[in-house]
Amino acid sequence: MFKQWSERWRDWTGDRRLTDAIRAELRRGGWAVHSAQIRDVRLVAIERPGWVQVYRFAVETTLHTDNPHDRRAAVLLGLSREDGRKSRIDVLLTEDESTWRERLETWSEGLIRRR
């Protein structure tokens, strides 16, 4: 019981707007949205007094195509950058780790970073 609760807590984004932004980006990229599982959401950088926040996460999903035999499973690396003074959340979903790391460095430049 504790293990199930722990896994559920670990995969909870804690923010409906963030979940919606991730799902919108999945839809734009042609990935399956309703079967996608958002995993390991963690705050990696923040700017004082907390307006700008950068989160990392992973998304388990499948590539949505017209032919069901061409579907493939994928784990996408994700980042989000939210500025609380603006209404839009920027989201990056990629399979390329180098692209993910570059964007992480760009988005968290000048912010307080977690190890």
* The two three-digit tokens of residue 36, written as one number: 């996608």
Please give the pLDDT value at position 42.
93
Peptide bond into 49 cis (omega under 30): yes
Its sign, for the CA torsion 74, 16, 112, 90, is positive
- Cα separation, 80 vs 23, in Å, equals 12
- Cα separation, 66 vs 71, in Å, equals 9
- Cα separation, 86 vs 34, in Å, equals 27
In the predicted model, what is the mean pLDDT of the chain? Answer: 89
pLDDT at 56 over 90: yes
* Count: domains in the chain: 1
Bridge partners (DSSP) of residue 83 are 52
Provide, rounded to the nearest whole percent, the portion of the chain with pLDDT above 90: 63
* Residue 37 structural domain: 2-113
Please give the pLDDT value at position 70.
73
Q: What is the pTM of this model?
A: 0.85
* pLDDT grade for 71, boundaries at 50, 70 and 90: confident
* pLDDT grade for 5, boundaries at 50, 70 and 90: low
Give the pLDDT confidence of 8-21 residue by residue, as tens digits: 666 677 789 999 99
Collapse the DSSP code of 102 into the 3-class scheme (helix H, G, I; strand E, B; otherwise coil) and give the result: helix
DSSP state of 75: E
